[in-house]
Amino acid sequence: MVGINSVLSLIDIDDKSDVLFDIKKALLALNSFITPNLKAIVIEYIRSRLNGLDHNNKILLSEWDGGIYSGMISVLERYDDNPIELINSIRRGQNGFRKDSATSDFFIDKIFPLNNDELTLRGTFNASVSYSYVVKMIDGLLDGDVDFEKKIIIKKIMPLLFELNKHNGFLANRSLFLLSECYLLLGDKETSIDYFFQSQRRKNTVGNQKLFVAKFIFGVDVERYFSRKTLKLFTEEDNIYNVCFWHKIKNLCSGVNILNSLSTYINKLTYSEFVSAKPCANIAGNVADDIIFFESINSQMECKCLGLTKLYYICKSDDYTSIAKSKAYYIIALTYCCNDVLKVLHYLTMSLFYKYDVKTAIKIQSLFIDVDEPGLLDALLGQGAKNKTHSFLSSVKYIKDSHSFVTWCTVNINNEVSLLLSIINSGAGDLIKTMARLRLCFLYIRGESCNNSLFRIQRFSKATELLELYKNSSSDSVVDFISDITNSGFYRHQSHLISNSEFGEYIFMENKSSNKLIIVFPSRYSYHVFTSVPSFVKNTCANILFVNNPECNWFSDEEFLRVECLINHVMKGRFEKNNTLCYFGSMGGYAAIKYAIRLKCHVLAFNPQFNLNLWAMERPEDIDRILLNRSVVNLDKISPKDNDGFSGCLLVSRSPADFLAFQSWFENFKNTENFTLIIEKYEFVEHDALISNAYKDTITETLMQRFNSLISYSNNDLKITPPLNVTEQDELITIIKNSTSGSWTIKSKNGLWYLL
């Protein structure tokens, strides 16, 4: 089948003992980040393979990896009779499929083409297909202002909604509610409210539809703006249908548009069967403040009625949403715009930070400088730019991937550093240059300042030079904001701990009372710094050597030799190999195993990357680097002779990229004649943070316990049971390979296996 080999070649793992391995690879590929067209090819391949499987193999496949693919297999088997089930499963992320609206849309267009605003399936109207089309086309439509293009889309989907309204159940109810949203966008508020009340009369009412009333009145997504207390007040049914409550709200408002919307709703509610006779809730002072605050910021007023005290409270309180905090910081910045440029800079920075809700990112704000703007404050505050087609802020984009990495940029990141440097060296105003330096400082701290964005190297010395410009600023300025971030990097703010040698940088934490050495290797996302945390150093009763991999190339080529020389330099004459442990996970786990084999010492690795064959799909943003190094990272290809004498503890999760890679590695490793191996399998489905999930608060204690056990086993200090016979050994191999959880300790002497 055209294309399937190119897809499966990215998962180049071979396990000849598993006749289902190709179809397992295809199931894994189906939930990876490949294009919808390739997913369609994979689906056809899986379906064709499923048709050729006997009953027993289908059961084995459904039970594979704890049964997490059984739902997916069932949906694919029913595809001919119910294709919409596959479409909805992919759209919603159900039945084992990864949520992927693009692939769902692809199948809708492929299977059910839209014709004359009516969907047909075998000659009859199909409600599920119609609803899928509506969801596809309406996605993102209901937010923001309506324009000509949106009106065309709305009028295209409304016939489908009218047709859905003829049916019963959840879809009919949703159609009425979506019709109310469409009429609201078209500006017909009275009809919009009529359809809202109709939707409430139906069964299967969706609770969040109550937010429609507040959205109808205030004209925006209220859920993102109001505090939790106010939001709860608006969603309580006794208040939603209570005329008295809305009259009280009306008395708090002064904006013409909001007052008109309130009047429309109150009039409709008065003549509705939903009108409530119960006393309405009291409107507390903080709710009243919320409404005044919201109306002010929504109408671009400066909100002087609240004062700085209230605004600061909103900024600091956990009860307010990120959007509310953003607006509050924005208004605070306005109050300083005539007398304190650095405060304006700081509060605008905080405003944008909260505007984009960067919860998982490093707590800094990155701004891209538009050199065409006449003045930075004019651009940021929207003043003096009436003739501009877009303001400075409209050029800022927020991009967030699954690994919590964020950037704000409208151009290729590769060009941004050179652009910022040109601004700094140009004749631009001081404030423009200040912001350019600030942005460049962020790039240096985040490691985004190199020419190739795939290779991120933090440049703290350059960032420090830029920070010197802010040293004489007030304590409330942006310098504190950035300095906190600079100081958060482990050991980078303690540069005196970093040693230099002819073999590169390293950190050696000495413990003179111990003769043990732990070598800590970096993971993919900490290759440029020295991996660990202070508590690890504090609680570990051993000497610790931290190495790094600035090239982030899995210690390939010269890097491997450099680090080997560095380790030998530290160990020479002081640490015995039997008292040395290589340690860490992922890329660091791969390195730990590779160096342990080379140095003939012990290893503890969690979710080590035995090979990179699965990772091109798991981490598509790293595909270039992975494909460049995949031939080097091949622990599953190391010969039994080179593995001889291996001593290690391996932790593996049920993440497919780790579970399958371990299978391949173990199939090869089992032929090693002499080894000591502790295998720990865990049910956690994530690749990251396995050791934290497995050992929790006892990481250092358990690590030392495993280290001491490996030393004892290598010294043959413990009594061992009789060896396993061939049948018992084969059964154990099968159990270990197929289990998603469990713990085994095996010692092999001249090919005879002993369970410890």
Chain position carrying tokens 């943003």: 621
Q: What does the alpha-carbon distance between residue 396 and residue 326 come to, in Å, rounded to a whole number? A: 15
First to last CA, the chain: 48
pLDDT above 90 (res 450): no
Query: Which structural domains are found in the chain, ordered by start?
Result: 4-111 (no CATH), 218-335 (no CATH), 364-488 (no CATH), 496-755 (3.40.50.1820)
β-strand partners of 652: 681
- Give the pLDDT confidence score for residue 629 in this predicted structure: 75
User: Residue 56: helix, strand or coil by DSSP?
Assistant: helix
Q: Which of 614, 669, 612 is nearest to 640 (CA)?
A: 669
Q: What does the alpha-carbon distance between residue 514 and residue 166 come to, in Å, rounded to a whole number? A: 78
Q: How many Cα atoms sit within 13 Å of 213 on the Cβ side?
A: 27
Would you give the distance in Å from CA 293 to the centre of its chain?
33
- Give the pLDDT confidence score for residue 399 in this predicted structure: 24
Cβ–Cβ under 8 Å, residues 640 and 666: no
382 pLDDT band (50/70/90 cuts)?
very low
What does the block give as tokens for 747?
């010692």
Top-confidence residue, 639 or 103: 639
Tell me the per-residue pLDDT of 663-686, one tens digit each, with 9 for 90 and over.
Answer: 889 999 999 999 999 999 998 877
Region of residue 119 (left: phi > 0; alpha: psi -120 to 50; beta: else): beta
β-strand partners of 121: 124
Q: Which residues, in sequence order, are CB contacts of 338 under 8 Å at separation 6+?
A: none
Q: Which one-letter DSSP state was computed for residue 16?
A: T
- Give the pLDDT confidence score for residue 595 in this predicted structure: 94
What does the block give as tokens for 165?
């309204």
Tell me the per-residue pLDDT of 189-248, one tens digit each, with 9 for 90 and over.
Answer: 889 888 888 888 776 555 567 778 887 887 766 666 677 777 777 777 778 888 888 888
Q: What does the alpha-carbon distance between residue 315 and residue 308 come to, in Å, rounded to a whole number? A: 10
H/E segment holding residue 519: strand 517-520
What does the block give as tokens for 706?
């495993």
Top-confidence residue, 525 or 132: 132
Q: What does the alpha-carbon distance between residue 145 and residue 566 come to, in Å, rounded to a whole number? A: 61
Q: Pick from 38-42, 137-141, 512-516, 525-529 the range whose average pLDDT is largest.
A: 512-516
Top-confidence residue, 414 or 541: 541
Cα–Cα distances (Å) from 125 to 65, 119, 177, 182, 470, in that order, read 39, 6, 20, 22, 67
Q: What does the alpha-carbon distance between residue 360 and residue 620 come to, in Å, rounded to a whole number? A: 20
| Mean pLDDT score across all residues of the chain | 70
Q: What does the alpha-carbon distance between residue 466 and residue 434 come to, in Å, rounded to a whole number? A: 9
Q: What does the alpha-carbon distance between residue 755 and residue 672 come to, in Å, rounded to a whole number? A: 16
Cβ–Cβ under 8 Å, residues 168 and 160: no
Top-confidence residue, 139 or 13: 139
- Give the pLDDT confidence score for residue 581 in this predicted structure: 95
| Sign of the torsion formed by the C-alpha atoms of 238, 242, 248 and 250 | positive
- Give the pLDDT confidence score for residue 438 in this predicted structure: 61
The identity of residue 397, as a single letter, is: K
pLDDT above 90 (res 617): no
Q: What does the alpha-carbon distance between residue 617 and residue 245 come to, in Å, rounded to a whole number? A: 54
SS (H, E, C) 363-376: CCCCCCCCCCCCCH
Top-confidence residue, 451 or 584: 584
User: Residue 71: helix, strand or coil by DSSP?
Assistant: helix
Chain position carrying tokens 């508590």: 535
Q: What does the alpha-carbon distance between residue 632 and residue 94 come to, in Å, rounded to a whole number? A: 37
Cβ–Cβ under 8 Å, residues 611 and 636: yes
**Burial degree of 119 (CB within 10 A; 0-12, 13-18, 19+):** buried
In 52-162, beta strands by DSSP E: 120-121, 124-125
Top-confidence residue, 469 or 393: 469
Average pLDDT over residues 313-341: 63
| Sign of the torsion formed by the C-alpha atoms of 397, 401, 406 and 409 | negative
List the single range of 71-75, 432-436, 592-596, 668-672 with lowest mean pLDDT: 432-436
What does the block give as tokens for 410?
């409208």
Cβ–Cβ under 8 Å, residues 686 and 618: no
Would you give the distance in Å from CA 50 to the centre of its chain?
33
Q: Which one-letter DSSP state was computed for residue 64?
A: G
Average pLDDT over residues 600-610: 93
158 pLDDT band (50/70/90 cuts)?
confident
Q: What does the alpha-carbon distance between residue 267 and residue 274 come to, in Å, rounded to a whole number? A: 12
pLDDT above 50 (res 429): yes
> Phi, psi at residue 558, to the nearest 5°?
-65, -30
Does the model's pTM come out above 0.75?
Answer: no
pLDDT above 60 (res 529): no
Tell me the per-residue pLDDT of 637-669, one tens digit each, with 9 for 90 and over.
Answer: 899 899 999 999 999 998 878 888 898 899 999
- Give the pLDDT confidence score for residue 60 in this predicted structure: 86
List the single range of 126-140, 383-397, 420-434 with lowest mean pLDDT: 383-397
368 pLDDT band (50/70/90 cuts)?
very low
CA dihedral 165, 168, 174, 179 (to 10 degrees): 10
What does the block give as tokens for 693?
């999930």
Cα angle for residues 442, 444, 445 (degrees, 5° grid): 65
Q: Which of 355, 331, 357, 363 is nearest to 344 (CA)?
A: 331
